[in-house]
Amino acid sequence: MVNKAIAIVGPTASGKTRRAVAVAEAFGGEIISADSRQVYRKMDIGTGKDLGEYGNIPYWLIDIADAGEKYNLHRYLMDFRQAYDNICARGRVPVICGGSGMYVENALAGVSLPEVPENRELRSRLEGKPIDELATILSGYKELHNTTDIDTCKRAIRAIEIQEYYRTHPHECVNVDARVSRPLDALVVGVDIPREIRRLGISRRLKSRLNEGMVEEIKSIIDSGVAPEDLIYYGLEYKFVTLYLIGQLSYTQMVHDLEIAIHQFAKRQMTWFRGMEKRGIPIHWLPYDMPDAEFIGAVKELLRLHPLKFLNARAADF
């Protein structure tokens, strides 16, 4: 039986979490997070978990790894499938919510990834190369599954390492290219926010997070024993705030560089979502400022036009 799901996607600061909660409330759902950094414990303000928004709605794949770990797409897809199957087995609706297009697309496509071991010889050859050169190398691979968060050299090298493994182990990685492993039949709804409104929201949210104690939160993670280079690996807030804390950036420069990096990240997110549509996953974009009742009404109409039978199914039907 083809699997079913509803996904709420959009760039950072688009308000997708609030929309996903409303959808889950309306359709008896539980949320599966598709955020590459909200998986980490204690990394709350910087990742924008905003757990208070969930209310009584159960959520999955948040706070499931320790800060300092290298959680990856391979682990996410395994954890996603376990959460998805659990939700379906109880007759509930899986509502996927997140801005990590790589996670969303591969989960919807049902991709099965092999565990990719460390390639020390490759890492040695790539070490010291600038980020732009690494990005160019990465772009030369046929299939890309890890290109949204390469704002650090370590992440770019890991992405190249993964792609090289796929290239040299084609039989192990058949489902990476063919995408034939348990695909989901999903309604994908995007939160459409104009670029300038998005930029204002990003700037406002960054200021708010700094006022809420983001710097202090990241300092406490370092003080707990997590190495600064491990936080830098995560990019964005954790990269730039850590660079400030270890004395490599002034506070003013940190805020300036971080704001630019988040804007660039949001642009890459939208590029990924447009790519998803070109690769055959339709995204139904709804205005970011739609009243909640109208948003839910629009989703109901989309479900009427593209019915997902699981909405009225019993647990025994799965």
Judged against a pLDDT cut of 50, whether residue 318 lies above it is answered with no
Q: Which two tokens stand for residue 28?
A: 């008896």
Predicted pLDDT at 152: 75
Residue 145: per-residue pLDDT: 52
pLDDT classification of 197: cutoffs 50, 70, 90: very high
Q: Is 52 exposed, middle or buried (0-12, 13-18, 19+ CB in 10 A)?
A: exposed
Q: Taking Cα atoms as reference points, which of 239, 235, 226, 246 lies closest to residue 69?
A: 226
Whether 312 shows a pLDDT value over 60: the answer reads no
How far is 134 from 126, CA to CA, in rounded Å? 8
Q: From CA 27, how far away is CA 8, in angstroms rounded?
A: 13
pLDDT of 117 above 70: yes
pLDDT band at 149; cut points 50, 70, 90: low
pLDDT level of residue 182 (50, 70, 90 thresholds)? low
Structure tokens at 292: 């909640």
Angstrom distance (rounded) from CA 233 to CA 153: 8
Strand partners, 8: 97, 189
CB contact set of 238 (below 8 Å; sequence gap of 6+)? 37, 43, 46, 218, 231, 232
Helix (H, G, I), strand (E, B) or coil at 285: strand
Q: How far apart are CA 215 and CA 238, in angstroms?
A: 9
Q: Give the mean pLDDT of 272-295.
A: 94
Q: How far is CA 310 from the centre of its chain?
A: 25
Determine contact, residues 27/6, Cβ cutoff 8 Å. Answer: yes
For residues 95 and 22, give the distance between their C-alpha atoms in angstroms, rounded to a whole number.
10
CA–CA separation, 31 vs 7, rounded Å?
A: 9
Total Cβ atoms within 10 A of residue 26? 17
Nearest to 109, CA basis, from 236, 276, 255, 258: 276
CB within 8 A of 154, min separation 6: which ones?
Answer: 229, 232, 233
> pLDDT: is 117 or 316 the higher one?
117
pLDDT for residue 122 is more than 80 = yes
The pLDDT score that the predictor gives to residue 28 is: 94
- The gap between the terminal CA atoms of the chain, to the nearest Å, is 8
Averaged confidence pLDDT in the chain: 88
Q: Which helix (H) or strand (E) segment is 294 a member of?
A: helix 292-305
